[in-house]
Structure 1
């Protein structure tokens, strides 16, 4: 296992896949209440804001396909994007995509909605790949079709959070757009400021929604 990580150009991706699978095994362990501790509920943001991230690392206990399909997608897109973006930037895209998916759930669903799953992060990676392809002048129509099909699937399938998908899509795309437009060495400070700006926008949206939920 150590050799696989050492040789892989996508170590962060492998680490995220491994972490998600390990968490799922802990979730299904008899007597475990880990799922309820990691899940995101908009009302929980007042006392447990970390759930906006941890929900992206938990999956359905009764449906192994939930975690397997998400991890397969994470591995496919991560293996492509991580070498392109670099480890830290790739991790930042993943985390802001998960965060953005929770923000969208706050706005587009009820305050007592219960959400788990890495699909928001996966949609963020799809958006990231689309942005990268456009930035380097490659054809992106087939990827755009894939994103559209998966979005429609989220709308028509019960129990699937299309809100999280949209949030992850916008967050991942926004963060990658910053990276794609600040690729030169002399733009590193601009890149950092831009990335922080994207995060702050989603943080501000979170606080604004918290206020509106308090007011009923």
Structure 2
């Protein structure tokens, strides 16, 4: 079937002209190789079999297994956009703005004090004090919200954490995928708070995404080793950062250490599943099994952290909290 008037043939202007279904005001003689409908330049998608329309491309993507589908958001080079990394940076920056609003606007909630974490917030002493004072002091969600707030006296605290997240988060998200990357980030923040619960003073308070960032350091090191890359650079960077953590004043080395160890633990099932997939061959079934193993490993890390939180809360006594 001809897609348009042949060269030298008479064309009747009054005859109905083919138009793009999505853009009826555009005449086009190019047709989709799959559905044979007219397709304008904006709706054309090149493929190995010729030009396809947008609707046929979407239908084909839906028919593929989830792990084989093309990324929904890509840059001009066709690479997946690390949306999870950008969203975390955006949320953290927004929370920092809300911190300042709490200080500058009368009656605005004090986000800084509402989100910071202290071992008291996950101790059984908090439950006892809540009964005595009538105020809820047991607030375990602060173990995660503390990763969203940063020092207001030193904006560099936020800038450094977000800069590192931007630099290495995009690489890790590309390897893991958005969902597993977010899980790794959240678990590392959680693990940093668990280390603070065990290693810091009961009345101490911590803020910042450093624990989560150190978890990303660990994951990048593990992934680099798995891919056979030269990891000497990241190793030196980790050593230097830990040196500053232990030497610098006002730095929660406990949170850094906990985040790093959790990052190692959380990235281990990812690396093992990828290694198993490489040896068994990449098929839909082996990919599903690898995905299940990865999420199972991440789930076990989460359960371990919850159990440690429960145990750490039992070890804090009222005398340590009240300073008696």
- What band does the TM-score fall into relative to the shorter chain? over 0.9
Q: Which has the higher helix share?
A: 1
Inter-CA distance 36–6: structure 2 relative to 1 (3 Å threshold)? farther
Misfit runs of 4+, over 4 Å: none
Match of residue 51 from structure 1: 142
Deviation sequence 1:141-173 (CA, Å, 0-9, x none): 111110010001011111110100000001111
Return the offset for 1:187: 2.5
Match of residue 149 from structure 1: 240
- Structure whose CA Rg is larger: 2
**Given the alignment, which residue of 17, 23, 28 partners 2:89?**
17
> SS of the counterpart of 2:168?
helix
**Given the alignment, which residue of 311, 314, 321 partners 1:208?**
311
183-192 or 137-146, larger mean C-alpha shift:
183-192
Residues in 1 aligned to 2:297 and 2:110: alpha-carbon distance in whole angstroms: 39
23-32 or 116-125, larger mean C-alpha shift:
23-32
Deviation sequence 1:109-143 (CA, Å, 0-9, x none): 11111100011111010100000001111111111
Residues in 1 aligned to 2:84 and 2:294: alpha-carbon distance in whole angstroms: 21
**Residue correspondence of structure 1 range 45-194 to structure 2 within 5 A:** 45-46=122-123, 47-183=138-274, 184=277, 185=287, 186-194=289-297
Aligned residue pairs, count:
212
Residues in 1 aligned to 2:304 and 2:195: alpha-carbon distance in whole angstroms: 13
Residues in 1 aligned to 2:157 and 2:315: alpha-carbon distance in whole angstroms: 32
- TM-score normalised by structure 2 residue count: 0.63
Residues in 2 aligned to 1:52 and 1:23: alpha-carbon distance in whole angstroms: 16
Gaps of 5+ in 2: 1-72, 124-137, 278-286
Residues in 1 aligned to 2:242 and 2:174: alpha-carbon distance in whole angstroms: 26
Return the offset for 1:195: 1.2
Residues in 1 aligned to 2:220 and 2:118: alpha-carbon distance in whole angstroms: 29
Q: Which fold has the larger relative contact order, with Cα–Cα distance below 8 Å and residues 6 or more apart in sequence?
A: 1
Gaps of 5+ in 1: none
Match of residue 28 from structure 1: 100
- TM-score normalised by structure 1 residue count: 0.94
98-107 or 172-181, larger mean C-alpha shift:
172-181
Q: Is the Cα contact below 8 Å between 1:104 and 1:164 reproduced in 2?
A: yes
> SS of the counterpart of 1:182?
helix
Return the offset for 1:6: 6.1
Return the offset for 1:189: 2.3
Q: What's the C-alpha RMSD, in Å, of the aligned pairs? A: 1.5
Match of residue 302 from structure 2: 199
Residues in 2 aligned to 1:9 and 1:211: alpha-carbon distance in whole angstroms: 44
